[in-house]
Structure 1
Amino acid sequence: MVQKAVTALQARLADQIVQWLKQQGAPQGFRLRESALADQFQVSRSPIRAALGLLEQQGWVESLPYRGVELRVPASELSLFEENLDESDPQDLYMAFLIDRFLSELPAAFSERELQQRYGASRSEVQRLLVQLEVDGIVQPGKGYKWLLSDNLNNAQSHYESYRCRLMMEPAALLEPEWTLDTESVEALLERHQQAIAQPEQVPAAQLFALSADFHELLMHCSGNRFLVAMMKQQNRLRKPSDLLSMQLHTSVEKACRRRMAILEALLQGRNREASELLRALLENDIRVMRHTYSEVARLSRQELEQLVRKAGLTLRLPAFDTPAD
């Protein structure tokens, strides 16, 4: 009985690592550190080590002496352990869930079976959905068979307050006396942005959000202040559901990437004050985009929202709704 529980945890962590690598757009040769993964998923290093062992059995990663664990294939080639290729695209179900979260149409607690009934999905589809949602900090396990919604930003006022908090903190962080530029990480992040610009049509909302989240967390890391890093991690978790939906519908990959690249390039040249002003302008632009999303999307009926999402290139299985009588 104990062995089954351990195996389930290992498989779940392995799937979470796969989802995380896909969101990072991790290339072949990408290094995975047990300590960083343990911090990312808030578990000890032992289950992380076991989960990496499962990935190694699949031939996806390799343990190298003195170098740790490296990806043997690009993250785009990875799949979940229970993935059924005959089933629908898991991103369809994921975006349908985010729409419901955005519109506050989900109960605070729900079971796998309730999600199956709501979305007309199979058990394996819902399990894969919950793995990704848990990785993203959108849901968390509750008591018994229930899952709980995490405290995310899903109304205009809370989102606005979040951005005002970030406006006070983030630009100032670039001017901190303890600021130390992590040149290697900044250059690597610049390269990821350049790759996204080269093929913008192949950048899904999840990858674009990962670029944004990594950008903001890296800047706070360079500030040398652990509390700013913790604040940014929390803000990224809170904003993810609504930002993913907004990015899917409105964001230009090239414009978003170039704004962040200008800041990174200024930092590489030691122009921190200029970078700070550019970061302030970026956040103020994000506030305008956020308000546009709430004013233009949140007031739509479910039918209109489905049509808008389809125009953005998605095919969603939204929950059934009653058609108004003529």
Structure 2
Amino acid sequence: MKQTAITKLQQDLLIKVVAKLKVEQAKVGDSLNESLLAQQFAVSRTPLRAVLVHMSTLGITKAVPYKGFVLQVDAQSIEIEGDQEESNQEQLYLRLLIDLFFGEIETAFSEKELQERYQSNRGEVQSVLRLLENDGILRRSPGYKWYLDGVLNTLERHSESYRCRLIFEPAGLLEPSWTLDLNGLENCRDRHVKAIQNPKSVTSSELFRLSADFHELLAACSGNRFLLGNMQQHNRMRKASDLVSMHFQSSVSKSCQRRLEIINLVLEGNNLEASNKLAQLLENDIRVMQRTYNHIVNLSQSEREKLVRSIADNNI
């Protein structure tokens, strides 16, 4: 197939899609949900479809009737121009996020301070700061300082986040505008089944992505854009703390099985029971968070540095 030309925006989107597939360890035959990917990267379906078509011309994906696009190669074998640059940015993003969570960085700081701390150039730092600003985690001052705004780095903030999610997430399954995304949920179910079958192969980053995609998919099915926006915001804010806690203490099989039960109920059309189960899942998450939070934040400096290096090295 003749290669298609893509814009700079689409090239950037391509790099992000490939990075996501690698994190999920996607395999040959896995489906790429167009709607969900567009929502996750906050773009319309038009540029996302252009990226998927371009991936087909590169032999990475293939359009299949009634299934959309499916992978023709394992994600880990995909190599594209700019992939390493994106990986470096992701590593800097994650390291900064985790350092903010642990309080290693002051609540106000400059770009120059970050360049010196992480031995990064100005462009890399500015790109990451813009991402964190879009995520609602940092805000820029009228001068040259940046301020911490929305990272979940206290027990009180964690509790508030979960209590908020308990209010809107289960309700989303009962919205009158609910529309089942069959392909998306089946793909999500298959990814959870694979994780349960081989839990030792699942990194903390992959486990977080499974959780985040599950919650965002249900919110997207609600048909209420404000519920989806809220869920995406909570996922962005909880990324650092969840990666740390999942790396420190987690059960892949148990957490995936709980979500799998909800997915199956939704696929059966039993949204009321799925809503109840989702509330129970969140209440369980609150208990787990409260048990492990104090232990995590009280790690020694050496234990903390070892943990951060392990997450950054193995999960990007």
Q: Report the TM-score when normalising by structure 2.
A: 0.73
Q: Closer, same or farther in 2 for the Cα pair 1:115/1:316, shift >3 Å?
A: farther
TM-aligned CA deviation for residue 162 of structure 1? 1.1
Which deviates further from its counterpart, 99-108 or 253-262?
Answer: 99-108
Q: Which residue of 1 aligns with 2:229?
A: 230
Structure 2 CA distance for aligned equivalents of residues 173 and 16 of structure 1: 28
TM-aligned CA deviation for residue 257 of structure 1? 0.3
Q: Which residue of 2 aligns with 1:41?
A: 41
Residue 187 of structure 1 aligns with an amino acid whose one-letter code is E
Q: Which residue of 1 aligns with 2:60?
A: 60
Q: Which residue of 1 aligns with 2:169?
A: 170
Q: Which residue of 2 aligns with 1:97?
A: 96
Structure 1 CA distance for aligned equivalents of residues 312 and 230 of structure 2: 35
Residue 204 of structure 1 aligns with an amino acid whose one-letter code is T
Structure 1 gaps of 5+ residues are 1-5, 318-326
Q: Which residue of 2 aligns with 1:17?
A: 17
1:20-49 Cα distance to aligned partner (Å, 9 max, x none): 223444333455577765554345677657
Which deviates further from its counterpart, 100-109 or 191-200?
Answer: 100-109
Q: CA RMSD in A?
A: 4.4
Residue 191 of structure 1 aligns with an amino acid whose one-letter code is D
Q: Closer, same or farther in 2 for the Cα pair 1:26/1:195, shift >3 Å?
A: same
User: Structure 2 matches for 1:121-160, cutoff 5 A?
Assistant: 130=128, 137=135, 151-160=150-159
SS of the aligned residue for 1:238 comes to helix
Q: Closer, same or farther in 2 for the Cα pair 1:25/1:74, shift >3 Å?
A: same
1:295 lines up with 2:294 in the alignment: yes
SS of the aligned residue for 1:227 comes to helix
Q: Which residue of 2 aligns with 1:324?
A: none
CA contact (8 A) 1:38 1:44 kept: yes
Q: Closer, same or farther in 2 for the Cα pair 1:177/1:187, shift >3 Å?
A: same
1:161 lines up with 2:160 in the alignment: yes
CA contact (8 A) 2:262 2:277 kept: yes
CA contact (8 A) 1:41 1:135 kept: no
Q: Closer, same or farther in 2 for the Cα pair 1:196/1:33, shift >3 Å?
A: closer
Give the number of equivalent residue pairs. Answer: 305
Q: Report the TM-score when normalising by structure 1.
A: 0.72
Q: Which residue of 2 aligns with 1:28?
A: 28
1:255-307 Cα distance to aligned partner (Å, 9 max, x none): 11011112222333343333222211110111122223421111223223235
User: Structure 2 matches for 1:149-228, cutoff 5 A?
Assistant: 151-228=150-227
Q: Which residue of 2 aligns with 1:283?
A: 282
Residue 78 of structure 1 aligns with an amino acid whose one-letter code is I
Q: Closer, same or farther in 2 for the Cα pair 1:33/1:145, shift >3 Å?
A: farther
1:165-208 Cα distance to aligned partner (Å, 9 max, x none): 11112223333344443344322221110101111111112211
